[in-house]
Amino acid sequence: MKKYKAKANANIALIKYWGKENEELIIPNTSSLSLSLEALYTETKVSFIDSDKDKFYLNDQEQAKDELEKISKYIDLFRDLAKNNKRVLVESYNHVPTAAGLASSASAYAALATALDALFETDLSKKDLSIMARRGSGSASRSIYGGIVEWEKGQDYESSFAKKIDNPGLDMAMIIVLVNKNKKSISSRQAMKTTMATSPLYESYINHSKEDLEAIKEAIKNKDFNKVGEITEHNAMQMHATIISSNPPIIYFEEDSIKAINKVRELRTKGIPAYFTMDAGPNVKILIQKSDADKVMEELLKDYKESDLIYSDIASEDASVEVLEC
């Protein structure tokens, strides 16, 4: 029997995806841009099983009905594509806290799509893998690639996929400040829907994020780290202002998120370029230059335990798969 094991890195968006034009097909309202992170990843093994149901283990724990149904529905996409109705055993390991705003769904579905493509012998191109990963979770479309990645919104099933952007030599890394590793109380998927339905600022976010995307691509080309950082911070705070203005309000910030943001500002007053971003959760990600990593760590360790900080280089590898003979 053959098992396939795929690995994909998580990614953190500098220009955020928030809201869908088409919920079923996961076509977003905006294009987005991210960095894939080497330190955060998912590894997923898949094999066929002789059963009338799929089986799903996450970090060695068999998953309950709702998670199994969700993943089975996703595997159906590959069963349809391959015209093969066999059931699948999925054994996945997250080297990233699950559902805490650290992009576990991105690395998860990029790894799963890559593994299922090998198992079902669908032989998808990178573009089609990105489309299939997108069907599991929008941000997963970007985790098919290492480096700097743009997910072009597109307008239909075929035209919404991610691609790698050239890095002309910008020196970048990220440090994550773990404010809270627990599962968030409201998923990105649900929060996006509420924001779109109720926030009076939503349209403004969509318009500004288009400008931010063009501006950040220009700053990347010009190797202008400070500009990249300024746009990153502003885009994330526009997204959060929009989320907070939902009705009822959705607040992902915790007291310690603000503390971490203030620490980043303090780094800047000390002459160290550092910029923050946050996703659908309280954890704060700090964009730094890799060449400043030791200095930044030294400063952060004055206020944080080593175990509260994750340093990550930008991943250089794309998602990949290997065969395990059992």
Question: Taking CB under 6 A as the rule, does residue 139 contact ligand DP6?
Answer: yes
Q: Which does 32 bind (CB under 5 to 8 A by kind): ligand DP6, ligand ADP, none?
A: ligand DP6
User: Nearest to residue 286, comparing CAs of 173, 167, 187?
Assistant: 173
d(CA 306, CA 217): 33
Q: Which does 95 bind (CB under 5 to 8 A by kind): ligand ADP, ligand DP6, none?
A: none
d(CA 175, CA 267): 13
Strand order in the sheet with 284-288: 274-278, 284-288, 173-177, 309-313
User: Nearest to residue 238, comparing CAs of 10, 11, 37, 19?
Assistant: 19
Touching ligand ADP, residues 60-99 (CB under 6 A): 67, 70-71, 92, 94, 98-99
The amino acid that residue 202 corresponds to is: Y
Beta carbons within 10 angstroms of residue 1's beta carbon: 8
Shorter beta-carbon distance to ligand ADP: residue 106 or 148: 106
| Lookup: tokens for 269 | 């007053």
Q: Is 275 helix (H, G, I), strand (E, B) or coil?
A: strand
Question: Taking CB under 6 A as the rule, does residue 32 contact ligand ADP?
Answer: no
Shorter beta-carbon distance to ligand ADP: residue 100 or 172: 100
Question: Taking CB under 6 A as the rule, does residue 119 contact ligand ADP?
Answer: no
259 backbone dihedrals φ, ψ, rounded to 5°: -60, -45
Shorter beta-carbon distance to ligand DP6: residue 47 or 101: 101
Of these, 58, 174, 192, 319, which contacts ligand ADP (CB under 6 A)?
A: 58
Shorter beta-carbon distance to ligand ADP: residue 11 or 289: 11
Question: Taking CB under 6 A as the rule, does residue 103 contact ligand ADP?
Answer: yes
Do 7 and 319 touch, CB atoms closer than 8 A? yes
Touching ligand DP6, residues 254-313 (CB under 6 A): 279-280
Question: Taking CB under 6 A as the rule, does residue 8 contact ligand DP6?
Answer: no
Q: Which does 13 bind (CB under 5 to 8 A by kind): ligand ADP, ligand DP6, none?
A: ligand DP6
Return residues touching ligand ADP (CB under 6 A). Answer: 42, 58, 67, 70-71, 92, 94, 98-106, 108, 112, 187-188, 280-281
